[in-house]
């Protein structure tokens, strides 16, 4: 739009234009009916203004046909909006199969963004253009929200659970992201930039800079350091190979899907769900692992699943 | 008829006054249903999340005391209904007797709860925020159970105490001859309240005490 | 007709204002009209406290770095603004002031069903208000009016418990008022006054009361659980100790969504009264408007999840709540069309109440339609928790409900006080308010779509121009609200004395002197015609 007075953020993701089109339609509907009502009211008020105290109005009490018409036309319009908006939303909320997963941890009042290849960023997120990115997020304290206006996407980041969004950037550049759920004193400064780079630049960025180990290898180290291997590697606990993304039978007869939430819960609250055929002997690791470490363990466990069991949230 | 509970100024006749106060009590009870309903919903959800801990908590409650109290409350609803009947029939002595019995049963309920149950819970260290002493793996969820237990039964007990207060007022009014077959609405409306508080307990007792996986 | 001295008539006649002097006759009154004035004084006070917070907020937002306050202070300002405006002004406003005053008058009764309960209701409200004032003086609360957990239970270190208790206590006032109105409207209508002859204001008050009695108790337990958790750290809502923060949101919004209809329905009721009186016409589509009120109340309980589309709710739940949220828009649209049609072939006059009504109809339409944006899942995913939402709800609550409230106050003022306010000043204020309002809040829609989050003490520089516009508008709006305070108080002593029916309007309240005697009517009226029966006979100004 014109530079001086923008009415929308940049369209920097694949879904932005679709959302904007629906927004324009809604704006048109809103302005149309507001104008219609205001102008009609003004017209009537003027045309039928009282000219003398004795003047009598013409009583018109109702008109069923009119009531039906002006009930059904708004109904039709909202049905159209509902269907359009819902289908767009369903399409927009399904991350494509081959998304790169990046992990986000929010805490008062900063963001930690962990690339699976190793680099960890604070308040900044480098991503390649043209590739679908899935953000899996959790909070260490209160509810936050990761919001990128230019991508038209946001989600609450909730302690105790994982939430996720996905986007595919369509042009390089720097785009603001904000915390969008009030979280205390420095809520307003808890943000940063998403930096979209060409794939080559991104590869270069990934390999340069601060070299950490990949999440998978960090997770593998934790698997040994935290002694998970003493049970899960010896048959005392359920094995992790081919676990992620597959159904698990529990001792009470029910079946659950081994997704991120299940694994996180098993680490922190192991007695909540006991796998059929095993004893409830696992100690809790609550207080001994950070959210980052849980994500590293998750990455490791996922890597042990052939064909990478997919779980969409 | 010389009694001074006359027609209140805002009403046209006694029938309107009667209908308004009954309807008013029903509307009030609707709000109470929403109040307790919200708490029940939260309790049921958490029971669903943490079944083992909640069942363990249930088993730690004394079912015998709970059952005794349930019987006490059921009897008190009977005596309350009989009191309303006595008022309908203009039998002042019978009315006062049944009101006093209801009052006594209510006091018994509250007394047993405080002096026996809660005292025992306190001595065992079951009171969250006060002297919680459990430390097992599920202690947090057990604590949550006891939080709901004390909150739910506490709010219920508060309603009972208010009911006892209302009954006391009714006994005094009855002794002063304020009620007659044409004018006993206060007794009937208070009866509605009392029955409602009883029904809440009928839900609380199984939800808290009985579904603890002990059967 | 103006007079600087008091006409003999108004002072020699005994009416509810002079039927007893002294502070006890007011603080121990059971007269619904006096209780209405007690509420009027209280909520006006709270309105200006909450308004002062708003002025300070907009002042701070003139520059991106925050012109005046530290973020910690700003956070307290927006929290107090929200809590005070919602719980201590908007929710009581029309029901407790206009409802209390008019419900018995409009049904031909001498008082409400439970006058002493009514007085208790005001005292309970004041206690709640005192807890809130204590919270302000003791340093404020900074959780936002929504008290989201675990911020409010575990991490905030401000006066959460006293603020929560203030809300809890004030809620009982709301419940008792609603109970009183429901019983009164059911049981105390004058002979001949059937349900479908009731003024639509009463249909609106009735529907509001149903929401009040069913919804408020759920807020009560949610807020008590927050206070309890904060006290003893048990894990109802804090996941670190096994609780569920989303559960709080469900419980909170289960009340707080219907609450917004508590705030708008009574204003819609006022609209029906104003458009008929100021066009001397029967309402167009009476039963459609009546049933719309009931439908809005019913559907309002089914849409709370639209506040939680990005909270971690399932997509399917989101779809259901989205569909129902669209449904609740339809009855409101029906009302707007019917009010507009009422003006057709009417005899329209433009005194201040009508100006407020016209403002309401247009601004409510715009604001209500922005609700469609928020009900649309794909768009809400972008504008949730941004200034778009702030614009939306202020259009409805301020451009809608407050304008309706002011229109009602001006319309019934002669009945309440026996005197007329100066209409020139009133119209000027209405115009200033309209202009100031739009300048304040229209830019906020744009800020929201551009991506400015709400509850931000500082913001990105690219948002500055629109913020400055909004703050400029707020200063104008503030002036607009102060002027009526002056002339209304002035009119109580110096305004021209009026008779029973200065507007020549239909309705039982206009059949009794202004101000009414304590018992409202010398004899219980007998109702023989429908509401708004204009055109059946000459309705002279009397």
| CATH number for position A279 | 1.10.760.10
- Short-list B76, B148, B142, CA closest to B112: B76
Question: Are A114 and A164 within one domain?
Answer: yes
Q: What is the DSSP string of A126-176?
A: EEETTSEEEEEEEESSS-EEEEEGGGTEEEEE-BTS-EEEEEEB-S-EEEE
pLDDT tens profile A249-296: 998 888 999 999 999 999 988 888 899 999 888 988 988 899 999 999
CB proximity B129 to C under 8 Å: yes
CB proximity B126 to C under 8 Å: no
Q: Where are the domains of chain B?
A: 14-210
CB proximity C243 to B under 8 Å: yes
Rounded Cα distance, C308 and C246, in Å: 9
Which among B20, B23, B42 has the least Cβ separation from residue C236? B42
Which among C179, C232, C247 has the least Cβ separation from residue B27? C179
Return the pLDDT at C6.
47
Helices marked H in C376-454: 377-383, 387-394, 403-417, 423-450
Which among A19, A78, A181 has the least Cβ separation from residue C382? A19
- 3-state class (DSSP) for residue C375: helix
Answer positive or negative: Cα dihedral of C422, C427, C432, C433. positive
Q: Is the pLDDT of residue B1 over 50?
A: no
Question: Containing domain of residue A13, as a range?
Answer: 9-41+64-212
Nearest residue in chain C measured CA to CA from B35: C217
CA of C112, closest CA in chain B: separation in Å? Answer: 7
Return the pLDDT at A4.
62
Interchain CB distance below 8 Å, C75 and A19:
no
- Kindly list the residues of chain B whose beta carbon comes within 8 Å of any beta carbon in chain A: 50, 52, 137-138
Question: Are A204 and A137 within one domain?
Answer: yes
Model pTM score: 0.92
N residues, chain B: 215
Rounded Cα distance, C152 and C163, in Å: 11
Q: Is residue A32 part of a domain?
A: yes
Residue A198 belongs to domain with CATH number: 2.60.40.420
Question: Are A190 and A238 within one domain?
Answer: no
Q: Is residue A292 part of a domain?
A: yes
Which among C284, C345, C372 has the least Cβ separation from residue A81? C372
Give C383: exposed, middle or buried? Use CB within 10 Å, 0-12, 13-18, 19+. buried
Return the pLDDT at C316.
93
CB proximity C120 to B under 8 Å: no
Return the pLDDT at C541.
56
Choice between A229 and C272, residue whose per-residue pLDDT is larger: C272
- Find out whether C506 and C276 touch, Cβ atoms under 8 Å: yes
Chain A residues with CB-CB distance to B50 below 8 A? 272
Which among B34, B46, B130 has the least Cβ separation from residue C217? B34
Chain A residues with CB-CB distance to B138 below 8 A? 271
Interchain CB distance below 8 Å, B138 and A284:
no
Give pLDDT < 50 ranges for chain C.
Answer: 1-8
Return the pLDDT at C165.
95
Nearest residue in chain B measured CA to CA from A285: B137
CA of C295, closest CA in chain A: separation in Å? Answer: 13
* Mean pLDDT, range B9-19, rounded to an integer: 89
Highest mean pLDDT, choosing among A116-120, A204-208, C342-346: C342-346
Question: Are A169 and A189 within one domain?
Answer: yes
Six token digits for residue C526:
């007998």
Return the pLDDT at B150.
92
Six token digits for residue C254:
């289960």
Rounded Cα distance, B121 and B118, in Å: 5
Phi, psi dihedral angles at C337 (to 5 degrees) = -65, -40
Chains B–C, number of C-beta pairs less than 8 Å apart: 105
Rounded Cα distance, C277 and C291, in Å: 21
Q: Which fold has domain B14-210?
A: 1.20.120
Question: Are A68 and A184 within one domain?
Answer: yes
Question: Are A161 and A96 within one domain?
Answer: yes
Distances (CA, A) of A278 to B136, C4, C49: 21, 92, 62
Nearest residue in chain C measured CA to CA from B12: C188
CB proximity B198 to C under 8 Å: no
* Mean pLDDT, range A232-241, rounded to an integer: 90
- Which region among A186-195, B153-162, C19-28, C48-57 has the lowest average model confidence (pLDDT)? C19-28
Rounded Cα distance, A138 and A292, in Å: 10
CB proximity B45 to C under 8 Å: yes
CA of A192, closest CA in chain C: separation in Å? Answer: 11
Which among A26, A86, A188 has the least Cβ separation from residue C322? A86
Looking at the DSSP assignment, which residues form a beta bridge with residue A145?
A156
Return the pLDDT at C108.
95
Q: Which of A166, A182, A212 is the last residue of a domain?
A: A212
Residue C354 belongs to domain with CATH number: 1.20.210.10
Return the pLDDT at B134.
76
CA of C79, closest CA in chain B: separation in Å? Answer: 25
Question: Are A159 and A35 within one domain?
Answer: yes
Would residue A62 be called left, alpha or beta, if left means φ above 0 and alpha means ψ between -120 and 50 degrees? left
Residue A270 DSSP one-character state:
G
Six token digits for residue C432:
């200033």
Distances (CA, A) of A260 to A96, A136, A300, A311: 18, 9, 12, 8
Which among C144, C348, C454 has the least Cβ separation from residue A49? C348
Question: Are A120 and A229 within one domain?
Answer: no
- In C206-277 the beta strands, taken as DSSP E runs, fall at none
Question: Containing domain of residue C381, as a range?
Answer: 28-511
Question: Are A164 and A24 within one domain?
Answer: yes
Give A130: exposed, middle or buried? Use CB within 10 Å, 0-12, 13-18, 19+. middle
Interchain CB distance below 8 Å, C251 and B42:
yes
Distances (CA, A) of B12 to B63, C194, C515, C523: 51, 17, 23, 11
Return the pLDDT at A181.
97
Q: What is the DSSP string of A271-310?
A: GGS-BTTS-S-PPP-TTTS-HHHHHHHHHHHHHTSTT---
What is the number of structural domains in chain C?
Answer: 1
Give A208: exposed, middle or buried? Use CB within 10 Å, 0-12, 13-18, 19+. exposed
- Short-list A292, A118, A305, A293, CA closest to A223: A293
Return the pLDDT at B111.
95
* DSSP H/E element including A106: strand A100-107
Rounded Cα distance, B129 and B120, in Å: 16
- 3-state class (DSSP) for residue C454: coil
* DSSP H/E element including A206: helix A199-207
Q: Which of A268, A272, A282, A283 to mutate to test the interface with B (most CBs of B within 10 A)?
A: A272
Return the pLDDT at C535.
79
Rounded Cα distance, C124 and C111, in Å: 20
Q: Is the pLDDT of residue B3 over 50?
A: no
Q: Is residue C298 part of a domain?
A: yes
Q: Is residue C540 part of a domain?
A: no
Q: Is the pLDDT of residue B70 over 60?
A: yes
Would residue A181 be called left, alpha or beta, if left means φ above 0 and alpha means ψ between -120 and 50 degrees? beta
Return the pLDDT at A210.
60
* Mean pLDDT, range A121-135, rounded to an integer: 95
What is the number of structural domains in chain A?
Answer: 2
Nearest residue in chain C measured CA to CA from A150: C451
- Which region among A66-80, A299-313, C41-55, C369-383 has the lowest average model confidence (pLDDT)? A299-313
Rounded Cα distance, A263 and C15, in Å: 74
Rounded Cα distance, C382 and A16, in Å: 9
Which among B50, B52, B137 has the least Cβ separation from residue A284? B137
Six token digits for residue A306:
């052939």
Mean pLDDT, chain A, rounded, equals 90
- 3-state class (DSSP) for residue A104: strand
Q: Which of A167, A187, A212 is the last residue of a domain?
A: A212
- Which region among A68-82, A222-236, B187-201 has the lowest average model confidence (pLDDT)? A222-236
CA of A104, closest CA in chain B: separation in Å? Answer: 26
CA of B144, closest CA in chain C: separation in Å? Answer: 6
Q: Is residue C460 part of a domain?
A: yes
CA of A277, closest CA in chain B: separation in Å? Answer: 18
Interchain CB distance below 8 Å, C188 and B42:
no
* Mean pLDDT, range A138-167, rounded to an integer: 96
CB proximity C111 to B under 8 Å: yes
CB proximity B140 to C under 8 Å: yes
pLDDT tens profile C303-326: 999 999 999 889 999 999 999 999
Q: Is residue C50 part of a domain?
A: yes
Whole-angstrom distance between the N-terminal and C-terminal Cα of chain C?
14
Distances (CA, A) of A85 to A33, A97, A195, C446: 20, 23, 29, 20
CB proximity B32 to C under 8 Å: yes
Rounded Cα distance, C398 and C264, in Å: 10
Phi, psi dihedral angles at C348 (to 5 degrees) = -95, 130
pLDDT tens profile B26-59: 999 999 999 999 999 999 999 988 888 898 889 8
Q: Is residue A287 part of a domain?
A: yes
Question: Are A268 and A177 within one domain?
Answer: no
Rounded Cα distance, C75 and C407, in Å: 32
Q: Is residue C9 part of a domain?
A: no
Q: What distance lies between CA C270 and its chain's CA centroid?
A: 11
Return the pLDDT at C10.
57
Return the pLDDT at C424.
95
CA of C315, closest CA in chain A: separation in Å? Answer: 8
Rounded Cα distance, C118 and C418, in Å: 23
Q: Which of A168, A191, A212 is the last residue of a domain?
A: A212
């Amino acid at each position: 739009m014109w530079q001086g007075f923008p009415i929308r953020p940049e369209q920097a993701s694949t879904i932005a234009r679709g959302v904007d089109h629906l927004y324009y339609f809604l704006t048109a509907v809103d302005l149309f009916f507001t104008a219609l009502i205001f102008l009609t009211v003004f017209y009537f008020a003027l045309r039928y203004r009282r000219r003398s105290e004795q003047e009598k109005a013409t009583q018109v009490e109702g008109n069923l046909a009119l009531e039906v018409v002006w009930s059904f036309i708004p109904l039709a319009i909202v049905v159209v909006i509902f269907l359009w908006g819902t289908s767009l939303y369903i399409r927009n909320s399904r991350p494509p199969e081959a998304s790169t997963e990046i992990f986000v941890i929010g805490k008062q009042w900063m963001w930690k963004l962990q690339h699976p290849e190793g680099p960890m960023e604070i308040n900044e997120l480098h991503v390649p253009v043209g590739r679908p990115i899935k953000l899996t997020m959790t909070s260490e304290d209160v509810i936050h929200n990761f919001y990128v206006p230019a991508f038209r996407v946001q989600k609450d980041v909730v302690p105790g659970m994982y939430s996720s969004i996905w986007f595919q950037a369509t042009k390089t550049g720097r785009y603001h992201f904000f915390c969008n759920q009030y979280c205390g004193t420095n809520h307003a400064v808890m943000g940063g930039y998403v930096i979209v780079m060409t794939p080559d630049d991104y590869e270069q960025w990934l390999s340069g800079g601060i070299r950490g180990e990949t999440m998978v290898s960090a997770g593998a180290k934790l698997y040994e350091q935290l002694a998970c291997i003493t049970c899960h590697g010896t048959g005392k606990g359920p094995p992790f190979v081919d676990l992620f993304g597959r159904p698990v039978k529990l001792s009470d007869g029910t079946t659950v899907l081994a997704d991120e939430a299940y694994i996180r819960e098993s680490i922190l609250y192991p007695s909540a769900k006991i796998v059929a055929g095993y004893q409830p002997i696992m100690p809790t690791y609550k207080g001994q692992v950070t959210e980052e470490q849980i994500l590293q363990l998750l990455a490791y466990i996922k890597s042990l699943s052939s064909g990478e069991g997919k779980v969409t949230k | 008829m010389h009694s001074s509970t006359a027609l209140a100024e805002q009403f046209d006749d006694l029938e309107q006054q009667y209908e308004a106060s009954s309807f008013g009590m029903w509307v009030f009870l609707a709000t109470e249903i929403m109040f307790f309903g919200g708490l029940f919903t939260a309790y049921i959800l958490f029971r669903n999340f943490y079944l083992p801990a909640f069942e363990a908590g249930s088993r730690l409650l004394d079912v015998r005391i709970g059952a005794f109290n349930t019987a006490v409350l059921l009897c008190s609803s009977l005596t309350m209904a009989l009191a309303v009947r006595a008022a309908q029939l203009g039998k002042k002595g019978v009315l006062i007797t049944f009101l006093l019995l209801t009052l006594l049963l209510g006091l018994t309920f509250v007394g047993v709860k405080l002096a026996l149950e809660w005292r025992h819970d306190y001595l065992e260290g079951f009171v969250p925020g006060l002297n919680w002493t459990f430390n097992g793996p599920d202690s947090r969820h057990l604590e949550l159970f006891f939080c709901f237990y004390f909150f739910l039964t506490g709010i219920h007990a508060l309603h009972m105490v208010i009911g006892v207060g209302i009954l006391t007022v009714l006994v005094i009014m009855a002794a002063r001859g304020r009620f007659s077959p044409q004018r006993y609405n206060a007794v009937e409306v208070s009866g509605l309240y009392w029955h409602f508080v009883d029904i809440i307990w009928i839900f609380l007792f199984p939800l808290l005490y009985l579904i603890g996986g002990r059967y | 007709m103006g007079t600087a001295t008091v006409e003999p008539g108004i002072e020699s006649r005994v009416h509810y204002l002079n039927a007893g002097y002294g502070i006890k006759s007011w603080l121990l009154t059971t007269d619904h009209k006096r209780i209405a004035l007690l509420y009027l004084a209280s909520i006006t006070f709270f309105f200006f406290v909450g308004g002062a917070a708003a002025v300070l907020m907009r002042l701070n937002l003139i520059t991106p770095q925050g012109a005046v306050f530290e973020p910690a202070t700003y956070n307290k300002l927006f929290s107090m603004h929200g809590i005070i405006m919602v719980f201590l002004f908007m929710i009581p406003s029309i029901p407790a002031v206009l409802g209390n005053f008019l419900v018995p008058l409009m049904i031909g009764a001498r008082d409400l069903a439970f006058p002493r309960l009514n007085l208790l209701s005001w005292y309970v409200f004041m206690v709640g208000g005192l807890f809130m004032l204590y919270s302000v003086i003791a340093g404020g609360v900074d959780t936002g009016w929504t008290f989201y957990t675990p911020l409010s239970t575990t991490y905030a270190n401000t006066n959460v418990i006293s603020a929560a208790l203030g809300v809890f206590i004030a809620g009982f006032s709301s419940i008792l008022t609603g109970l009183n109105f429901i019983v009164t409207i059911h049981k105390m209508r004058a002979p001949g006054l059937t349900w479908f002859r009731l003024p639509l204001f009463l249909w609106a008050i009735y529907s509001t009361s149903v929401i009040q009695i069913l919804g408020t108790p759920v807020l009560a337990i949610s807020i008590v659980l927050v206070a309890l958790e904060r006290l003893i750290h048990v894990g109802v809502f804090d996941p670190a100790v096994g609780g569920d923060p989303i559960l709080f949101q469900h419980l909170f919004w289960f009340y707080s969504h219907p609450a917004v209809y508590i705030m708008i329905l009574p204003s819609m009721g006022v609209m029906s009264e104003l458009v008929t009186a100021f066009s001397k016409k029967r309402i167009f589509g009476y039963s459609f408007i009546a049933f719309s009120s009931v439908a809005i109340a019913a559907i309002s309980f089914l849409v709370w999840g639209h506040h939680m589309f990005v909270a971690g709710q399932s997509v399917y739940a989101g779809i259901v709540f989205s569909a129902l949220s669209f449904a609740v828009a339809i009855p409101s649209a029906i009302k707007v069309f019917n009010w507009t049609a009422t003006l057709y072939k009417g005899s329209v006059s433009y005194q201040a109440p009508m100006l407020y009504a016209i403002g309401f109809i247009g601004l409510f339409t715009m604001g209500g339609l922005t609700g469609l944006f928020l009900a649309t899942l794909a768009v809400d995913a972008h504008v949730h928790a941004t200034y778009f939402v702030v614009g939306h709800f202020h259009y409805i609550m301020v451009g809608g409900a407050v304008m309706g409230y002011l229109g009602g106050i001006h319309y019934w003022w002669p009945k309440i006080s026996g005197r007329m306010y100066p209409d020139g000043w009133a119209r000027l204020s209405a115009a200033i308010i309209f202009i100031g309002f739009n300048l304040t809040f229209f830019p906020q829609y744009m800020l929201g779509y551009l991506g400015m989050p709400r509850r931000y003490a500082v913001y990105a520089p690219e948002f500055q121009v629109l913020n400055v516009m909004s703050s400029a508008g707020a200063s104008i709006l503030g002036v607009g609200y102060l002027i009526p305070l002056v002339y209304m108080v002035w009119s109580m002593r110096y305004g021209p004395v009026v008779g029973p029916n200065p507007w020549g309007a239909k309705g039982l309240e206009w059949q009794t002197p202004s101000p009414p005697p304590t018992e409202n009517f010398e004899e219980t009226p007998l109702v023989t015609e429908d509401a708004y029966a204009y055109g059946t006979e000459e309705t002279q100004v009397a």
